[in-house]
Amino acid sequence: GYSCPGTCLDYVYDKLQTPFSFAFEIYVSPEQDGWLKERWQRKMQDIGGVRHANHSLAEDEYRDFFHKHPSNFVQFANTNNKVHGLSDEECFETFNPSTSPLYSRTLTEWSSVYIDMALMVASKVKGRSP
């Protein structure tokens, strides 16, 4: 995972000492999905990928990527809430499934992820001594 500076998730983990906190960014429009994955893989190769797996994504090495591809979980002090150059409708369609089939597919895929994650957490919790 990665830290989410300034969000409730870091607060819950750091201050309340919860053993688990999660952040999911679950949607990007199909038109941007392949390109965004390719761009991310190139960025990870450029900076050495695996050695940074547990570092904050708000670090300087990732700054250009997240300035061009805003995230609710990776923010900078001067982050503007409006995605540059997109109309309101284009912005909505970038971050939200805009058709019934896309919505259903996203719901099905991510419901499964949440259930799998809950089962993994439950398994870890059961393995702990009281």
Mean per-residue pLDDT pooled into runs of 10, the chain (130 residues): 67 84 82 82 74 55 64 52 73 89 94 93 78
Q: What is the pLDDT of residue 107?
A: 95
Q: Is 85 helix (H, G, I), strand (E, B) or coil?
A: coil
- pLDDT of res. 29: 85
Give the largest CA-CA distance in the chain.
53
Neighbours of 29 (CB within 10 A): 16
* pLDDT score recorded for residue 92: 87
pLDDT for res 130 = 44
In the chain, where are the structural domains located? 8-96
Q: Which long-range contacts (CB under 8 A, 24 or more apart) does 47-54 make?
A: 54/1, 54/2
Q: What are phi and psi of 45, to 5 degrees?
A: -65, -40
Residue type, 7: T
d(CA 13, CA 22): 9
Pair of tokens at residue 17:
């000492």
CA distances from 81 to 8, 75, 114 (A): 18, 10, 27
